[in-house]
Structure 1
Amino acid sequence: MNITELTNRLHAIRDRNDWKQYHSPKNLAMAASVEMAELVEIFQWLTEQQSHELSNDVLEHAGQEVGDIVLYLLLLCSELGLDMEQVVRAKLADSERRFAS
């Protein structure tokens, strides 16, 4: 995944539609949260086993929601001046350090 390319493509869509005015960190965090809630809704009443056995249609829907979440997080990182790859690598290294066996 080339984060810079994806962010540039997102900015092109944002700019073409004059959405930057709505892309404050607060709004982007809230939008990501709403999309996460939509992902959670897919699994809400499923058993553990059913959550591993999604139909193709439901799996595609889940993928759409994951995509929405990631895109909002890319925009949020951009607005905050965070390097997504750097923050993810730092968090992963922290988890490896904290949870090493």
Structure 2
Amino acid sequence: MNHSSQHAQDESTDDATTPVGELRNIVREFVDQRDWRQFHNAKNLSMALSIEAGELMEHFQWLTTQEVVDRSGYSAAEVAEELADVVSYALALANILDIDLSTALRDKMVKNRLKYPVA
């Protein structure tokens, strides 16, 4: 079993138990070990985030709605990798801009609830 498969199966590393701060630290450590912080500014990271989002969309581009619903027209593993790239760049952007994502998300959901009421 390779390391990534082991991680995927380890319940202690799933979304329910991993704090956002831990994910931010993983990204920060990766960036720092490669001395990439010199390239990380809001412009570059937001562009990279957009590019990765485009790569994510490519997996669904020519599929029918049914193929997407059935999960038959794309590789779930490849989609997961692209989504991880998107999240990594979002976390890197939060790191350099010192944005608390948990607070930002909660605040945005308050606005969304007012803008899009249930009824």
Q: Who is 2:77 aligned against?
A: 60
Mapped partners of 2:77, 2:99: distance in 1:
29
Contact 2:59 2:74 in 1 (8 A): no
1:8-87 map, 5 Å: 8-55=25-72, 58-87=75-104
Q: Decide which structure has the larger Cα Rg and report it.
A: 2
Mapped partners of 1:82, 1:47: distance in 2:
37
Mapped partners of 1:77, 1:34: distance in 2:
17
SS at 2:82 equivalent:
helix
Identity of aligned residues (%): 35
Mapped partners of 1:65, 1:74: distance in 2:
14
> Which of structures 1 and 2 has the larger relative contact order (alpha carbons within 8 angstroms, sep 6+)?
1
| Structure with greater proportional helix content | 1
Mapped partners of 1:41, 1:57: distance in 2:
10
Which consecutive residues of structure 1, in runs of 5 or more, have no partner in the other structure?
Answer: none
Q: CA deviation at 1:10?
A: 1.1
Q: CA deviation at 1:53?
A: 2.1
Q: TM-score, normalised by structure 1?
A: 0.92
Please report the RMSD computed on the Cα atoms of aligned residues, expressed in angstroms. 1.5
Mapped partners of 1:99, 1:57: distance in 2:
31
Q: TM-score, normalised by structure 2?
A: 0.79
- 1:55-84 Cα offsets, whole Å, 9 max, x none, are 497111111111110110011011112111
Superposed structure 1 runs of 4+ greater than 4 Å apart:
none
